[in-house]
């Protein structure tokens, strides 16, 4: 099959509004959690989230076009523009019939739906809905808008698999290049659901942290006193290319996509398999797809959401798959800094992995205070501070409600 390389990245995150700023946030162990500014949280159990700061769509997008987009699509367009520029992709010199888009979002334009339903419910009862409500709401619209903006006419669709959405998008985009269907793929994901609906819904599930007195330390993956995840928002974009195509146009190659896996827990609507069965299987599948041994992996960027059940199950799964080599790995959860971006998590975490390869460091798992006796203390979970290390290969995990599991492996290009 064709080799697939990464030639451009773009990021819009709670700890940095560009890829460069995101890298700096990861290196410093910065927390993106703070009191919510996007709506009134007076009556909510959780009053904080990891919002994108200072985002003004009219400063970054055409004003008229931005009005027709939900916030999650605005995020997508901004991150993709950065990635295309970073890749030095000249649209006049590539075959647009062989350039495609696969974009992930777990929820899509929930704000657009929430706004119109609220207006209808509190209004006269006469149905006066925004004519753009439906296209702003649907999860596939970001992929469509990216395609329209740049004229990419090959494969175009969205992946929706909860928190695994953008990892599945990256895997599918990779396969389209591997199989010779495309030369260039734009992929990644975006999410923008710091809203009353989602905070209320996740609170009802008891999934969110309620550490309102100190939100910047609320996301505590692997800590004994973790009490749920911190909701985040943002986007991550990657430009993938067929290796020969990238070389021919003189692109700078950042990393290679080595392989991926996708499995199901087939266990529970929201809880992970207690023994991490799906997680074990997906990591094994990714390693087999990449034709790599466990010893080839230096760093695992874990799903690590800061939930009581999920963190333990994932740690056990890593030990099962990697055996003794698990103690040689660096493991970290960048959600401790960014919060949980749901469908966009896999994209920004893939970028964190690529940064670790390019800059030879491991982003930390911040906010660790107390060891959890259920998690092996000999595992290097990269607590609190970034660590220097040569990184040749990274495995990135994302797992979603419904039992959806995805693992993607990136390796140093050579």
- Active-site residues, by number, are 163, 303, 340
DSSP H or E segment with residue 5: strand 4-12
DSSP H or E segment with residue 202: helix 196-205
Q: Of 28, 24, 72, 33, whose CA–CA distance to 338 is shortest?
A: 33
The pair of three-digit structure tokens given for residue 406, joined into one six-digit string = 């995805």
| Entry field: residues in the chain | 414
The pair of three-digit structure tokens given for residue 289, joined into one six-digit string = 């797809």
Kindly list the distances between the CA atom of residue 56 and the CA atoms of 52, 59, 139, 152, in Å, as whole numbers in the listed order: 10, 6, 22, 26
CA distance 114 to 108: 12
Q: What share of the chain is helix, strand, coil (3-state, %, to 5)?
A: 40, 20, 40
The pair of three-digit structure tokens given for residue 29, joined into one six-digit string = 């162990």
- Considering only CA atoms, give the Rg of the chain: 20
Pairing between β-strand 99-104 and β-strand 184-191 as defined by DSSP bridges:
parallel
CA distance 234 to 77: 11
DSSP state of 252: P
Residue 312 has, within 13 A of its CA and on its CB side, a CA count of 15
């Amino acid at each position: 099959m064709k080799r697939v390389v990464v030639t451009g990245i773009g990021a819009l995150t709670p700890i940095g509004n560009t890829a460069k700023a995101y890298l700096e946030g990861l290196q410093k162990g910065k927390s993106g959690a703070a009191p919510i500014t996007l709506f009134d949280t007076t009556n909510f159990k959780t009053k904080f989230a990891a919002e994108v700061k200072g985002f003004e769509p009219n400063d970054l997008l055409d004003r008229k076009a931005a009005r027709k987009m939900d916030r999650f699509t605005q995020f997508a367009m901004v991150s993709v523009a950065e990635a295309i520029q970073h890749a030095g992709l000249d649209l006049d010199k590539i075959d647009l019939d062989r350039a495609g888009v696969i974009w992930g979002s777990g929820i899509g334009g929930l704000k657009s739906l929430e706004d119109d339903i609220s207006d209808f419910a509190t209004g006269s009862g006469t149905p006066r809905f925004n004519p753009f409500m439906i296209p702003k709401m649907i999860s596939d619209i970001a992929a469509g808008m990216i395609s329209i903006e740049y004229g990419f006419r090959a494969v175009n669709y969205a992946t929706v698999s909860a928190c695994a959405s953008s990892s599945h998008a990256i895997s599918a985009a990779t396969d389209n290049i591997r199989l010779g269907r495309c030369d260039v793929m734009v992929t990644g994901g975006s999410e923008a659901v710091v809203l009353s609906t989602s905070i209320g819904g996740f609170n009802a599930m008891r999934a969110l942290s309620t550490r309102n007195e100190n939100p910047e330390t609320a996301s505590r993956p692997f800590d004994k006193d973790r009490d749920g995840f911190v909701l985040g928002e943002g986007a991550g974009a990657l430009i993938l290319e067929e290796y020969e195509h990238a070389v021919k146009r003189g692109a700078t190659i950042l990393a290679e996509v080595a392989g991926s896996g996708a499995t199901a827990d087939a266990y529970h609507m929201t809880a992970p398999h207690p023994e991490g069965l799906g997680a074990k299987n997906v990591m094994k599948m990714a390693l087999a797809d990449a034709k790599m041994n466990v010893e080839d992996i230096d760093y695992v960027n874990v799903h690590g959401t800061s939930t009581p059940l999920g963190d333990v199950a994932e740690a056990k799964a890593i030990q099962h798959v990697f055996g003794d080599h698990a103690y040689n790995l660096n493991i970290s959860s960048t959600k401790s800094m960014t919060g949980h971006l749901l469908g966009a998590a896999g994209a920004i975490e893939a970028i964190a992995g690529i940064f670790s390869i390019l800059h030879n460091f491991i982003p930390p798992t911040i906010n660790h205070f107390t060891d959890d006796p259920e998690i092996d203390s000999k595992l290097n979970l990269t607590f609190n501070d970034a660590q220097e290390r040569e990184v040749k290969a990274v495995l990135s995990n994302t797992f979603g409600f419904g039992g959806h599991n995805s693992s993607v492996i990136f390796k140093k290009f050579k």
